[in-house]
Amino acid sequence: MYFSGCLPYTIRFLNIGASNAHKVFLLDKLDSDLDINTFKILATSDSITSIQFMPDSTLFIEFDGIELEPDSMGFITFSISPIVGLDDGTVIVNKAEIYFDGNEVVITNETKNKLYDLPTPQAAFTYSHDCTNSGLVYDFLYAGNTPDGATFLWEFEDGSPSTSNSQNVNNITFSSDGWKHITLSVERYGCLHIIKDSILIEDFILGDSVLVCHDGNGVYIPLDSLEYHIAHDDCVGNCAEVEGRYGNINHDDKAHVPPINVHIQPNPAKDICKITVTGESLPSNDLLIKLVNLTGSYDQILYSGLARQSPSLAEYEINTTNLESGMYLVKVSYGSELQIIKLIIQH
């Protein structure tokens, strides 16, 4: 597996003593699957007086003369990349030791990052009228390439049930025909992909008759004879849909845009961060990038357009200097596609 990004880590230390802490130093024995040659310091709360790697890849960081007041917190944020060629599913583990002056060691919580070849989920689906039902009953099939570990949320306008958390959903009954909005959200390992579209819900009943596909031809039959026809392999609906069940009616084809991957680094960000959009063939239509805080009080378009460095790479730089520290959502949309990535701004 080739991992092109880096892992950001933040070590925070709080002085819970009654007087100033004069010296603080950190020991972080880095996982053997991390490449120490890619180590970068992204932000610190105070000036570092000493930093070095020990032979066993333990990172030593010292803040001498920090004079950290009681109930005050310091931090350091750094990034480091995994080594090239790791197996899919490799777990990177990390925790640190913190020493305040001559006090006993404080051990941080342990973090785990699991690396996958396909970390970003893909939301895509096909749908079809229930072949054996004369009502407005439809089945929905997940058609994305997310292999495992995903959670699903379906939302059906005017449907019953109106939501579902199953990967595939059968027997959604709509109360009326016409165009209905369908939303599928797929989340995997903290990454979220949402797709929205409208589909046409058709009513195949005309008076006391219902349309069925019989021997390749669409014919109206009496409703009271439907059970007989279903038993002999006829199917409710027009023949074009029947023959293309879960094939021709493919939402992924209708989207007209290929899947993309979105990465942000550094994350957490202090002054500048970069959004990288990659894909086998980036969409030719414009991308829209928005930054939103969790309360909804800040909603800003960062970029509208498409500036490709190559057919498979586009990069966008964000100045976060004037934004308040906190958690934000970066929304990247193109056509009916939407991807959402969490961004932490930490000054």
Measure CA of the first residue to CA of the last residue in the chain; give whole Å: 34
* Exposure string for 235-254, b = 16+ CB within 10 A, e = fewer: bbbebebbeebeeebbbbee
Beta strand 287-293 with 125-129: parallel, antiparallel or unpaired? Answer: unpaired
Helix (H, G, I), strand (E, B) or coil at 253: helix
Tokens standing for residue 53: 């790697």
8 Å CB contact between 271 and 319: yes
Please state whether the peptide bond connecting residue 161 to the residue before it is cis, i.e. omega within 30 degrees of 0. yes
Cα angle vertex 182, ends 181, 184, to 5°? 150
Report the pLDDT value the prediction gives residue 260, as an integer from 0 to 100: 67
Domain with CATH 2.60.40.740 in the chain: 7-114
Which residue blocks in the chain are alpha helix, DSSP H?
226-231, 239-243, 251-254
Question: In a structure prediction context, what are the per-residue pLDDT tens digits for the chain, which is 347 residues long?
Answer: 444 457 889 999 999 989 999 999 999 999 999 999 999 998 999 999 999 999 999 999 999 999 999 999 999 999 898 998 888 778 999 999 999 998 999 999 999 888 876 667 888 888 888 888 888 999 998 988 776 778 999 999 999 999 999 999 999 999 998 888 899 999 877 778 888 888 888 888 877 888 888 877 778 888 888 888 888 888 887 665 554 443 333 333 333 445 667 788 888 888 888 888 776 666 555 567 778 776 656 767 776 655 555 666 777 788 888 888 887 878 777 655 667 777 888 88
Domain 7-114: CATH architecture, name and number where available: Sandwich (2.60)
> 20: alpha, beta or left, given left = phi > 0 and alpha = psi -120 to 50?
beta
Q: What local confidence, expressed as pLDDT, does residue 199 receive?
A: 83
Collect all residues with Cβ–Cβ distance below 8 Å to 3 and sequence separation of at least 6.
Answer: 81, 82, 84, 86, 115
Paired tokens of 270 = 């202090």
All CATH 2.60.40.10 domain ranges in the chain, comma separated: 125-204+238-254, 261-345
Q: Which CATH architecture has domain 125-204+238-254?
A: Sandwich (2.60)
- Chain centroid, CA 89 distance in Å: 17
CB-based contacts of 228, cutoff 8 Å, min separation 6: none
Vertex 266, ends 324 and 7: CA angle to 5°? 130
Q: Where are the alpha helices (DSSP H) in 183-332?
A: 226-231, 239-243, 251-254
- How many whole angstroms separate alpha carbon 191 and alpha carbon 327? 15
CATH number for the segment(s) 261-345: 2.60.40.10
Q: Give bridge partners of residue 12 from the DSSP assignment.
A: 75
Enter the pTM of the model.
0.45
Q: How many CA atoms lie within 13 A of 163 on its CB side?
A: 4
- Paired with 77 in beta bridges are 10, 43
Q: 222 to each of 147, 173, 252, 324, 328, how far by Cα in Å?
A: 44, 22, 36, 67, 58
Q: Residue 254: phi, psi to the nearest 5?
A: -70, -20
Question: How far apart, in whole angstroms, are the C-alpha atoms of residue 51 and residue 43?
Answer: 14
Whole-angstrom distance, CA of residue 218 vs CA of residue 106? 74
What is the spatial distance between Cα 63 and Cα 229, in angstroms, rounded to a whole number? 81
For residue 163 the two structure tokens come to 């939501």
